[in-house]
Copies of this chain bind each other. A is one copy, B any other.
Amino acid sequence: MQEVNFGIIGSGTVGGGVLKAIQRNGPLMSSRLGVRLTLLKVAVKNKAKTRPVPVPASLMCTRWEEVVRDPRIHVVIEAVGGTKTAKAIVMKSLASGKVVVTANKALISAHGEEIFEAAQRYGVNFYYEAAVGGGIPIIKVLREGLVGNRINRIYGIVNGTCNYILTRMKLEGLEFDEVLKDAQRLGYAEAEPSLDVDGDDAMHKTGILASLAHGFWVNPKQIHMEGIRAISRMDIQFAERLGYTIKLLGIVKKLEKTSGPGRRRKGFVPVQVSVFPTLVPNSHVLASVNHEFNAIFMRGDVVGDTLYYGRGAGQDATASAVLSDLADAALDLKTGNMNRIPPFVPHEGEGTVLDIDEVVSRYYVRLSVVDRPGTLAKIATILGRSKIGISSVIQPEGHEGESVPLILMIHDASHAAMNRALTEIGRLPVIKAAPTMIRVETFD
């Protein structure tokens, strides 16, 4: 039987999970693959540390270079996180002719193009299934299962922390800060939660999905991103009354037509790539994806609508995806072809990310207004002047006092037009707080 040796660098959540899973299911995988998988080394920071998943002393080393330089090792699993050391590990491993497996979306987002180029140059592969959707094999589905499709739409709940917070805010009627504190206590959110709740993590993942779906590398700087800190319990409740659930969605939408002056380059297919809280109709499957679960909805031009659901984070889900990559690496080595499905294949040179100003959406707008005749007329005048159509106006009952909420549901309008109009509306003396604007998705 073919022998494939691998090493793990890092023994935290990801590394520990892979170690645990391979100890449990390594022999089963070997029999499925016809390849003997042997873990030769685990690089740790501190040998003396007590770990939830103990690393066998015979495998332990303290310098990552020992794994990368070991000529017996064919596959390196990078599990240190961050982008600096991780990049060094990846580049050195590729240069040494080793296949690399990682779950590190931040690394790919920051240095993907350079890494992919290096993998090609050195004739080895670089796998990153665990970087998006945790245990959901979404990279494989996108690159292989749906390879015969143009992916016209992707809507992803790809950050488990945000989904957990939004779910509890809805089900328990709590405010963001209350749930965040509890989520931190329970381990669903980091002590420093900004990478999750401000949207960066979802942005990294959405950028990877967009790049793979459309065959041009999406620069993270071009991805418009809004987190969930500004979502209030009130918005969740109003949305519910209107038949919607608020989810943080990564959206990748190939556009046929756009409004606006058309800043994008001629002949290039414009693609909306964005991350923001979105009102999802309760009848849509994504509205039912709750707690820490992730789900990615993809619409292909041949297959139609599909959805993939599972745990998007956590030690075990991540390990499942890493093992799937390890299996592909092992089969590459077994069959003697190290580049069967390269990490990234450009296939439509003509794609370009649509500027957020040109992105057209529907909107939910909540204003805090003085309850006085003529208020709505003033607001409607500004919107009308901007050619923004109001589809409905709701002044919820049961609110009294100096200011009351006023909900506007807005027809399709560009981000730029909405921004201008809301800035103007915000300056009206009858408006008592900064307007809240959340997009509404119809999944057309």
Contacts and interface: CB of A to CB of B under 8 A. Distances in A.
Interface residues of A, number: 60
Interface stretch (A199-207, A314-322, A379-387): A314-322
Contact of A215 (B32, B140, B304): B32
A148 interface: yes
A315 to B, nearest CB: 10
A29 interface: yes
Given A145-B140, A149-B25, A305-B311, A320 B335 contact: no
Interface in A287-331: 288, 300-311, 316-317, 319-324, 326-328, 331
A439 to B, nearest CB: 24
Interface stretch (A43-51, A186-194, A339-347): A339-347
A15 interface: no
Contacts of A305: 310-311
A144 interface: yes
B29 A148 contact: yes
A317 B304 CA distance: 7
Nearest to A345: B32
Given A323-B147, A324-B146, A337-B335, A303 B310 contact: yes
Contacts of A303: 135, 310-311, 316-317, 320-321
Contact of A147 (B29, B135, B340, B347): B29
A428 interface: no
B336 A309 contact: no
Nearest to A335: B337
A34 interface: yes
Contact of A302 (B141, B316, B326): B316
Contact of A32 (B135, B147, B302, B306): B147
Contacts of A308: 306-309
A327 B147 contact: yes
Contact of A148 (B146, B302, B319): B319
A285 interface: yes
Contacts of A31: 215, 345, 347-348
A326 B302 CA distance: 15
A137 interface: yes
A90 to B, nearest CB: 22
A144 B147 CA distance: 16
A24 interface: yes
Nearest to A136: B306
A150 interface: yes
A1 interface: no
A28 interface: yes
B327 A25 contact: no
A21 interface: yes
A423 B150 CA distance: 55
B304 A310 contact: yes
Contact of A144 (B306, B324, B340): B324
A421 interface: no
Interface string A402-416: 000000000000000
A87 to B, nearest CB: 26
Contacts of A348: 28, 31
A33 interface: yes
A285 B28 CA distance: 29
B148 A320 contact: yes
Contacts of A144: 137, 140, 324, 327-328
Contacts of A137: 140-141, 144-146
Given A147-B327, A285-B288, A320-B148, A25 B304 contact: no
A308 B295 CA distance: 10
A31 B215 CA distance: 10
When A and B form their complex, which 9 residue pairs have the shortest distance between CB atoms, in order from nearest? A137-B145, A148-B323, A306-B310, A303-B320, A135-B303, A335-B337, A307-B309, A31-B347, A302-B320
Given A32-B215, A149-B320, 12 more contacts: A22-B148, A25-B302, A31-B215, A135-B304, A140-B144, A144-B327, A144-B328, A302-B316, A302-B323, A304-B316, A307-B307, A307-B310
5 contacts: A31-B348, A141-B141, A148-B319, A285-B309, A302-B323
